Chain A
């Protein structure tokens, strides 16, 4: 579902955010993409979702060449950004209708999809609400609805549970597991290693723009270490700052 070879991104500032990353994600997997602040997680995800153009390397995403057919990639992926992307004041069903119609669906089909996705994410009844009136958990589920409304083959989740309370987090995990059971491929970044441990079939750890480890959580937790300990052993304990774009 995702194949990259030597994927790199150097910003105009000269900062090398991603350095020759090779990734391989199979259909139906939930893969966690982990790393400290500034490791290159979000930059990689933004390249894979066509928001940034790689400086070098090749990639196939959801069966489409990232550089030659970015519109084809966009048609087949869903993306839930790190920060909420909801219009704070407009009725969310109206925003969802625009979103789904931009994928080529007609209005009747769009409305049926909205009803279906909202029911599956426990959002029914909030159609005419604006994001500014919702709780953090509801907002995040709406973000998920925007990423899923067109039935993508591959879903990108960038730190989906950051800032949520434990109940909302557990609820979102439940929904992600349901998506996996339905056969959707999920590529997610998170700072919560318990989340990666609980949700992901496989994790890839990136540091300073390069992949430093990958495998199933159980395979990485050698010598009785927790995933947190494995992560710190691989990436060190010094504090990190984000790489400026």
Chain B
């Protein structure tokens, strides 16, 4: 299974890297926010607060919408062809989600590099640990996105996912920390796993490594990964998936 996962990851990554414009475009929105909203935000907040939020936004827009790719493969019959090879269904999923996580890391590096140019002063160690969270989060989001794409009606997937991204983004505190929100909104936001990941990333970008927020964020990412990959694997194993 490891070899099959590697072969599929390498194949998908080669295709992704060939489409450089695609990588840039799916990172365009957070980059716009960084460049056009960041300087305003920096007048009352810090880059170390904003940039982790934009990384979460990037994750939702990039890995969270990865399901579009499987709709394409399903329609063109590629998925069916691969399902008749001896490759395990889990490898078919993991090869893809690892490619999505890799793409998200590339986009995050772009975003963070631009943020440093604009004024971000996060410690390298904190950014590195946050990147690890991004990898796991990206793979998990992609697995869920594939599960949704293979479960929902093909014409329903796009409107459902693009609509779901906005509340998930806002409830995670992408643009402003949820501690600033009224109590009812703050309470709702606790249902979103991204809030905990974002709180952890903000601490890491601020150079705080051993906080309860970091501990909770790491735990949430691990649980989220287990749940997402289990759901994704179940859907990939299902007949007609």
Contacts and interface: CB of A to CB of B under 8 A. Distances in A.
B78 A85 contact: yes
A119 interface: no
Contacts of B82: 99, 102
A23 interface: no
Interface stretch (A73-81, A213-221, A229-237): A73-81
Nearest to B241: A51
A75 B4 CA distance: 14
Interface in B49-80: 73, 76-78, 80
B8 interface: yes
Interface in A182-240: none
Nearest to A90: B15
Contacts of B8: 98, 102
Contacts of A85: 76-78, 80-81
B7 A103 contact: no
Contacts of A94: 11, 14
Contact of B85 (A52, A74, A245): A74
B87 to A, nearest CB: 5
Interface in B1-29: 4, 7-8, 11, 14-15
Given A81-B81, A98-B7, A87 B76 contact: yes
A77 B143 CA distance: 29
Contacts, number: 61
Contacts of B180: none
A67 B45 CA distance: 60
Contact of B76 (A77, A88, A104): A88
Interface residues of A, number: 28
B156 to A, nearest CB: 18
A83 interface: yes
Contacts of A25: none
A44 interface: no
B7 A102 contact: yes
Nearest to A70: B86
A195 to B, nearest CB: 22
The listed residue with most A CB atoms (<10 A of its CB), out of B14, B80, B82, B83, is: B80
Contacts of A101: 7
B85 A53 contact: no
Given A81-B77, A88-B76, A74 B84 contact: yes
A71 interface: yes
Contact of B86 (A51, A79, A88, A104): A104
Contacts of B7: 98, 101-102
B240 interface: yes
B103 to A, nearest CB: 16
Interface in A41-85: 49-53, 71, 74-75, 77, 79, 81, 83-85
Contacts of A245: 240
Contacts of A103: 85-86
A79 B84 contact: yes
A33 interface: no
Nearest to B84: A79
B86 A99 contact: no
A81 B77 CA distance: 8
Interface string A75-118: 10101010111111010001100110111100000000000000
A75 B15 contact: no
Contact of A53 (B4, B73, B76, B239): B239
Minimum-distance CB pairs A-B, first 8 = A85-B77, A85-B81, A102-B85, A79-B84, A102-B87, A98-B11, A75-B86, A74-B86
Interface of A: 49-53, 71, 74-75, 77, 79, 81, 83-88, 90, 94-95, 98-99, 101-104, 146, 245
29 contacts: A51-B83, A51-B84, A52-B239, A53-B239, A71-B86, A71-B88, A74-B86, A75-B86, A77-B84, A79-B81, A81-B80, A83-B77, A85-B76, A85-B81, A86-B77, A87-B73, A90-B15, A94-B11, A94-B14, A95-B78, A98-B7, A98-B8, A99-B81, A99-B85, A102-B4, A102-B7, A102-B82, A146-B81, A245-B240
